[in-house]
Structure 1
Amino acid sequence: MAKKTTQIAIYGKGGIGKSTTTSNLSAALSEMGYKVMQFGCDPKSDSTNTLRNGKYIPTVLDTLREKNSVKANEVIFQGFNGIYCVEAGGPAPGVGCAGRGIITAVELFKQQKVFEELDLDFVIYDVLGDVVCGGFAVPIREGIAEHVFTVSSADFMSVYASNNLFKGIHKYSKSGGALLGGVIANSINAPYAKDIIDDFVAQTKTQVIEYVPRSVTVTQSELQGKTTIEAAPNTAQADVYRSLAKKIANHTESKTPAPLEVSELREWAAKWGDYLLAMETGTIRTEQAGNL
């Protein structure tokens, strides 16, 4: 009997560090002895670059445009520590739905029973989270992913994107869709940033899985075309990613979040805005954040 493959979707606003987090998660899981596939679902097709020394790989959609039929092994490439890398790709600029690559790639891999043949432990979908519609919602809507995590900083637009994702999960949860594992809090250095994320997850009835600080080590590693796990394995930042990997590997119970309505989110953000302004002008002390 084939072992069960755990399928996870990592969402996040563009530029928030989603692919960086996902690639380091994949690398850390592979270090733990798991067989991992990273499935890039962003039309930019750069999710797996740091697992392959900065190199791009042919995407599923590009390959399909060149030939009528594609065998899965033509679009699967191995990277750091044997991680299987796939990029779904997107349509030609200005034509079609950007999420079509996910739909096409997932269907192709299902038909050819790729996950079973490769005997994978984890498939990690790296999905653009600015809009949760069409193809981008496939891992949630179709119940392909068992657990969903979102990468979010304390910036409002990042929180806004996460809240939108929660709305999508809430909608599809009633028909067998994926559930939320929690928030990966990224670029958390200032104390108030942690307070903002902690308050947001409390408001939406979810949890923080890991706090990931902003670090120059990540930038240095990516300039080499590598993950932090590969380029700087003995650093504190690499250990943060290892801690995240252990938590996700042991994660078993995901839940339906309680997203805020837009008016509620705006009101919540305004209170934090007033607080940060007061803190900057010296009329409030940092330790008072917990009383918001």
Structure 2
Amino acid sequence: MIKLAVYGKGGIGKSTMTSNLASAFASLGKRVIQIGCDPKADSTINLLGGKPVQPVMDYLREYDREPTQIEEIAKEGFNHILCIETGGPTPGLGCAGRGIITTFQLLKDLKLFETYRPDVVLYDVLGDVVCGGFAAPIREGYAEEVLIVTSGEKMALYAAENIRKAVQNFADRSYAKVRGILLNRRNVENEEEKVHAFAQNAGLPILADIPRSKEILHFEDMGKTVVEGGPKLPVSQKFFALAQRLLEDETNG
């Protein structure tokens, strides 16, 4: 099973990267779960035709009880991708990371992975914080590897380095390790050189180079990923290539 956590600066495009990668895996015949770990609960919306799944924390507040089956807190989207959103506390009250911890415990109690038996699990994690609840996806065997999304922007690279250091600090606890970098281009000056320099200094591969694309925005306006809406487009082929690479690496150990 491939288990990946996607981290990066807030607003850098983690959800776009994650949902398109999920779509590519699913289009290759893999059984996929995507778990959005953000109070905004919008990670999976473009896998669901623009109609969001009810976040776990909202469910708990509305019904004042825990769900008894996965279907109460999950929806199947494009190519049967199982979509789950942790959500967060009532705005201004409580810790957002707590929603992740609560959700993960519920999924464990409901035996999600034993029941669904996925080939791929993707965790789309809030912002550039790797502490408390936001570190949960890389603890206790949930995710085995981390993908860091960055552009060539100064603050995106700053966040990427903080994430790399934080994950490295967990290395002696058998937590997840950084697998590589996803370059999500913003067309800033010397972007390629800046990101390649960061990757080289960090000793990490750039696993995918995603161009700034009007097609991505076009299909997101329709509630779709670009992989679903235009699978033969060059930008979609980038996600297929990334999925294939990760699958081959998993097969080759």
**TM-score in terms of structure 1 length:** 0.82
Query: What is the distance in 1 between the residues matched to 2:228 and 2:245?
Result: 20
Aligned partners of 2:11 and 2:127 also within 8 Å: no
Q: Does 1:51 align with 2:26?
A: no
Aligned partners of 1:43 and 1:89 also within 8 Å: yes
Q: What is the aligned partner in structure 1 of residue 64 from structure 2?
A: 67
Q: What is the aligned partner in structure 2 of residue 230 from structure 1?
A: 228
Q: How does 1:265-280 map to 2 (within 5 A)?
A: none
Query: Offset at 1:125?
Result: 0.2
Q: What is the aligned partner in structure 2 of residue 183 from structure 1?
A: 181
Aligned partners of 1:129 and 1:165 also within 8 Å: no
Q: What is the aligned partner in structure 2 of residue 149 from structure 1?
A: 147
Q: How does 1:1-292 map to 2 (within 5 A)?
A: 5-65=1-61, 66-71=63-68, 72-187=70-185, 189=187, 192-252=190-250
Query: Offset at 1:190?
Result: 6.5
The residue type paired with residue 79 of structure 1 is: G
Query: What is the distance in 2 between the residues matched to 1:122 and 1:90?
Result: 24
SS for the counterpart of 1:34 is coil
SS for the counterpart of 1:182 is strand
Query: What is the distance in 1 between the residues matched to 2:44 and 2:249?
Result: 23
Where in structure 2 are there 5+ consecutive unaligned residues? none
Larger radius of gyration: 1
More displaced 10-residue stretch of structure 1: 36-45 or 184-193: 184-193
- Output one character per residue of 1:159-203: Cα deviation in whole Å (capped at 9) or x when no partner: 111111112111111111110100001116578211111100111
The total of aligned residue pairs comes to: 249
Query: What is the distance in 1 between the residues matched to 2:170 and 2:222?
Result: 40
SS for the counterpart of 1:177 is coil
- Output one character per residue of 1:141-164: Cα deviation in whole Å (capped at 9) or x when no partner: 334211110110010111111111
Query: Offset at 1:19?
Result: 0.3
SS for the counterpart of 1:99 is helix
**Alpha carbon RMSD of aligned pairs, Å?**
1.5
SS for the counterpart of 1:70 is coil
Aligned partners of 2:21 and 2:239 also within 8 Å: yes
Identity of aligned residues (%): 43
The residue type paired with residue 251 of structure 1 is: D
Query: Offset at 1:101?
Result: 1.5
Q: Which runs of 4+ in 1 moved over 6 A?
A: none
Where in structure 1 are there 5+ consecutive unaligned residues? 254-292
Aligned partners of 1:188 and 1:211 also within 8 Å: no
Structure with greater contact order relative to length (CA < 8 Å, sep ≥ 6): 2
SS for the counterpart of 1:185 is strand
Aligned partners of 2:152 and 2:188 also within 8 Å: no
Query: Offset at 1:113?
Result: 1.3
Query: What is the distance in 1 between the residues matched to 2:128 and 2:204?
Result: 20
SS for the counterpart of 1:251 is helix
**TM-score in terms of structure 2 length:** 0.94
The residue type paired with residue 35 of structure 2 is: F
